[in-house]
Amino acid sequence: MNETILSAIDIGTNSVHLVVVKANANGNFVILTSEKESVRLGSGAGDLDLITEEAMQRCLHALERFLKIAQSWNAPVRAVATSAVREAKNGQDFVDLIKQKINLNIEVISGREEALHIYRGVLQGLPLYDKKILTIDIGGGSTEFVIGQYGDPILATSLKLGAIRLKERFFSKEPLSPGDIDECRKYIRIVMEGLRQEVLSIGYEQAVGSSGTIETIASMIQPDSEERDISFSIDELHKAVESLLSSDTSKKRARLPGLDEKRADIIVPGAILLEEIFYLLKIKNIKLSSYALREGIICDTLLNQYAIGQNPDNIRKNSVIHMSERLMKAVSPTFAQSAKHIAKLTLILAQRLENANLIENLSPEDKLILESAAMLHNTGMIISHSAHHKHSYYLIKNSEHLLGFSSLQIETIALVARYHRKAIPSKKHPEFAALSPDLQRRVMVLSGILRLCTGLDRENKENVIDIKIEKNNGSVT
């Protein structure tokens, strides 16, 4: 296959985006056409807990138009929805409506998945692959943060801070008031405190911003710029924010140079949020990326449907290693090394059991889950040695650091790690009982392998380096 034409639709809280691309066999692509339409899917719905009928219809009409454009290129469509749909009580109703009316399947992705896709998209647009970058994407309902290097995310998370969400909460009336501005700033600082500490602990070389709010600020700072390599400093941002706040109504702001009048009512909360992010994360300068979520979706589609691009296993495995090392080294360097050794033993034992026809052959996904659970099975010791297997389950299940895994895969890893000691899997345990019968069987097998291998390195001395299985008169040794 030499060239592939495909498209992606990003259904955001404020806007809907379409991109149609032509990709070569190496995963590189050029944009054939792109479209954007403001639909305000999350507008007028309080804390984004409901999509109004009017917003559904606006989005439906935009998607119908985008589908016709994609079809004119004979481009298969992949559509994803983010904050507004995943949080709304009637989000599934919206998904069902779109399927019924125009036969378009919509994937509702998590905040962490969104962040990961954004990072991939940014790397397609800027030559920053070898740099440790902090990527920031301010949307209407949420803001995604990623720190990554060499294509491997180190941290990826999503916070419920967005331009429309903050507008609905603090700036629903005009004109602007100093009190509302102060309350908004205080709220942002509270929500960001945990992430602030983590980002400053990890560090980064370059900040990169993407999507509407940051693009609008860049346009205000450099209204006549046609350069592709756009960046702005904290001082330039501060001047832009001052200009916005001195224009206390949307009508006044719409007259400011470089400001799209369609964003005049939501740019203030977005700009305040960006300024607070600069202060809290100690950003001096930020580069603008024209690529974001939709281009990341293209990368993911090429990888998973056409087998073109970076191996997703590298992202998954590296995120497991980062989490294991970060937590286990805090407990003891010995435990960190032992986790790696036990992970190797689990794969050796699995192979020996397969060869002896004692278990069915494991799939590549099973082996990845087994290896990941082995790397993370003792992470709960950072909380307490007592019942640390249960603590490990909690840390794994709720981690923001396991990238590239589905929610079900993370749950499976957490359960395999949880059952490496003490009680074996039981239907009396709600989490295990909630699994399908096939997945229950897989957890039983994988946790049994992990349990045996942890016993082989109980003293963390790595004395066992290989495993041999012998069958004799019905017994196995």
- Under a CB-based contact definition with an 8 Å cutoff, are residues 386 and 421 in contact? no
Question: What was the pLDDT predicted at 227?
Answer: 60
Q: Which of these, 140, 433, 143, 398, lies nearest to 276 by C-alpha position?
A: 143
**Interval 261-299: pLDDT, tens:** 889 999 999 999 999 999 999 999 999 998 999 999 999
CATH architecture under which domain 312-476 falls: Orthogonal Bundle (1.10)
* pLDDT higher than threshold 60 for residue 320: yes
Question: What was the pLDDT predicted at 458?
Answer: 81
Residue 23 in tokens: 């990709």
* pLDDT, average across residues 38-66: 87
* pLDDT higher than threshold 90 for residue 314: no
**CATH number of this structure's domain 127-290:** 3.30.420.150
- Verdict on whether the full-model pTM lies above 0.85: no
Domains of the chain by residue range = 3-110+295-306, 127-290, 312-476
Alpha carbons 20 and 101: distance in angstroms, whole number: 22
**Could you check whether the bond before residue 175 is cis, i.e. omega within 30 degrees of 0?**
yes
**Interval 388-424: pLDDT, tens:** 889 999 999 988 677 667 778 899 999 999 999 988 9
Same fold, 127-290 and 312-476: no
Question: What was the pLDDT predicted at 68?
Answer: 98
Q: Is 206 exposed, middle or buried (0-12, 13-18, 19+ CB in 10 A)?
A: middle
**CATH number of this structure's domain 3-110+295-306:** 3.30.420.40
* pLDDT higher than threshold 80 for residue 62: yes
Confidence of residue 333 (pLDDT cuts 50, 70, 90): confident
